[in-house]
Amino acid sequence: MADRYLHFTGTAPGRFLTRRLGLPRPAPLRRWSPGTPSLDGPLLHLTAGDSAITRELGALLAATGLDVTDRAEHAERPAGIVLDATAVTAPGGLTAVHAALHPVIRSLAPGGRVVVVGVRPSADDHHQAAAQQALEGFTRSLGKEVGRGSTVQLLRIAPGAVAPAESTLRFLLSPRSAYLSGQVIELTPAAPDPVADWTAPLAGRTALVTGAARGIGASVAGVLARDGARVICLDVPQVRDELARTAEELGGTALPLDITADDAADRIAAAAPDGLDVLVHNAGITRDRRLANMPAERWTSVVDVNLDSVLRTTDALLKAGTVNRGGRIVATASIAGIAGNNGQTNYAASKAGIIGLVRALAPHAAADHGVTVNAVAPGFIETKMTAAVPLLIREAGRRMNSLAQGGLPVDVAETTAWFAQPASTAVNGQIVRVCGQSLLGA
């Protein structure tokens, strides 16, 4: 399962050969650890034109404890750049985007973070809409250019609502978002809950993770526990022992249960007498075949586990009030649900269905229950699921993204933990790809 190519390209002969042959040269990515939690150098705060939010954004960045400067000459090798492009209301304003970033982009440190801050393209002002949409193409292209493990995102904040962006800026400017690039994240103006301790944002909260015995789910459960949550780990009774081990390792409890069971929601509610603050729908299966060869059973089992059970349990748990106010629901889509995949009509349908569910439910869940609903859409993540993929397809999956490598389960887990934070109230209805900016469905 290990990515031997990534290791090889870090050696002297590997560097020589990849350069000579023009092969992908993935940079080792730095993940979050308690010893090195944040940016490894100064953060440059630039502006493209005069914006009403510049000062407020500067104050917010300063409050993160990062070493922030607005002078390029004070940051010879910036580890991060935040470009405030909220003042760009017509294509002419894009000149200022070029003027701000062109002189400094080459000096971005390896593993650097670029966040372009914009606003939602207007439905009434087509000049503003053209300019703000232009930032999307700009961001996605820059993500493909920067190389050396650096990432670039576009963060659309609600006009006049800078404070709700704090948890997202902290996430995007940290090693927690190592495998995210080319993402467009749009915030609502919702006020965040205050955070007592950014190192344990989930203290006192209860989370339930489905499919938690192994792979991505086990990592999600681990990261939520690390962030202070009491975690209930759910998986099918057939893997009861593995589930018990995972739960024990993180000081959580195990709930052996098939999520497709008729009484699944009741059993979950019974296991969480004080309600749930975080509900992560991670359980998923594949039963690949081309449509022409796919028996009905392969179709229905995938749609039932990956989509129907998510709809059923979400509806029931919201209706019963088991998901507490301020709660967070995180579902799991896939880039297959965006790009489609040969042999995966069933799987891609189920994962695209998750995207539809999240977008439609998010505003209602927020208004009626005070709950946010988001989805992670993993790309190629190194797990047992992808280890089973034939070698050539596996290698293509690993390399065909801007970071030229597969992600790790922890990358999906960190994204889930950011959604789960009490401070992320403004993050709602988002589908965030954890795919290293995969070329599939880009």
Residues noted as catalytic = 347
- Identified binder of ligand NAD from the candidate list 150, 334, 344, 346, rule CB under 6 A: 334
Examine residue 302 and tell whether it contacts ligand NAD (CB under 6 A).
no
Nearer to ligand NAD, 154 or 377 (CB): 377
Q: Which of 280, 307, 282 is nearest to 417 (CA)?
A: 280
Spatial distance between the Cα atoms of 386 and 398, rounded to a whole number of angstroms: 10
Return d(Cα 128, Cα 333) in angstroms, integer. Answer: 31
**DSSP reduced 3-state for 210:** strand
Residue 269 vs residues 146, 207, 212, 283, 328: alpha-carbon distances, Å: 47, 12, 17, 18, 16
Cβ atoms within 10 A of the Cβ of 402, count?
25
Q: Closer CB to ligand NAD, residue 42 or residue 211?
A: 211
Closest distance of CB 168 from ligand NAD, Å: 22
Residue 95, C-beta contacts closer than 8 angstroms, at least 6 positions apart: none
Q: How far is the CB of 216 from ligand NAD (least distance, A)?
A: 4
* Nearer residue to ligand NAD within complex by CB, 328 or 394: 394
Question: Which range, of 10-18, 77-85, 375-383, 422-430, touches ligand NAD by CB under 6 A?
Answer: 375-383
Position 305 contacts ligand NAD (CB under 6 A):
yes
Q: Which is nearer to ligand NAD, 21 or 392 (CB)?
A: 392
Q: Are 114 and 108 contacting, i.e. CB atoms less than 8 angstroms apart? A: yes
Compute the C-alpha angle 109/114/118, nearest 5°: 165
Question: Does 93 help bind ligand NAD (rule: CB under 6 A)?
Answer: no
78 lines the binding site for ligand NAD (CB under 6 A): no
- Regarding 260 and contact with ligand NAD (CB under 6 A), the answer is yes
Q: Tell me the C-alpha distance between 159 and 278, whole Å.
A: 28
What residue is closest to ligand NAD based on CB?
284
Q: Which is nearer to ligand NAD, 263 or 368 (CB)?
A: 263
Which C-beta is closer to ligand NAD: that of 128 or that of 183?
183
Nearest to 217 by CA among 259, 265, 170, 274: 259
Pick out residues in 175-234 that bind ligand NAD (CB under 6 A). 210-211, 213-217
Q: Which of 178, 223, 236, 362 binds ligand NAD (CB under 6 A)?
A: 236
Query: Which residues inside 94-123 make contact with ligand NAD, applying CB under 6 A?
Result: none
Beta strands, E only, 27-180: 43-47, 68-69, 80-84, 113-118, 151-156
Answer for the pair 43, 68: CB distance below 8 angstroms, yes or no: yes
Q: Is 365 in the site for ligand NAD (CB under 6 A)?
A: no
Contact call for residue 353 and ligand NAD (CB under 6 A): no
Closest CA to 429 of 359, 331, 330, 338: 359
Size of the site for ligand NAD (CB under 6 A): 27
List residues near ligand NAD by CB under 6 A.
210-211, 213-217, 235-236, 239, 258-260, 282-285, 305, 332, 334, 378, 380-381, 383-386
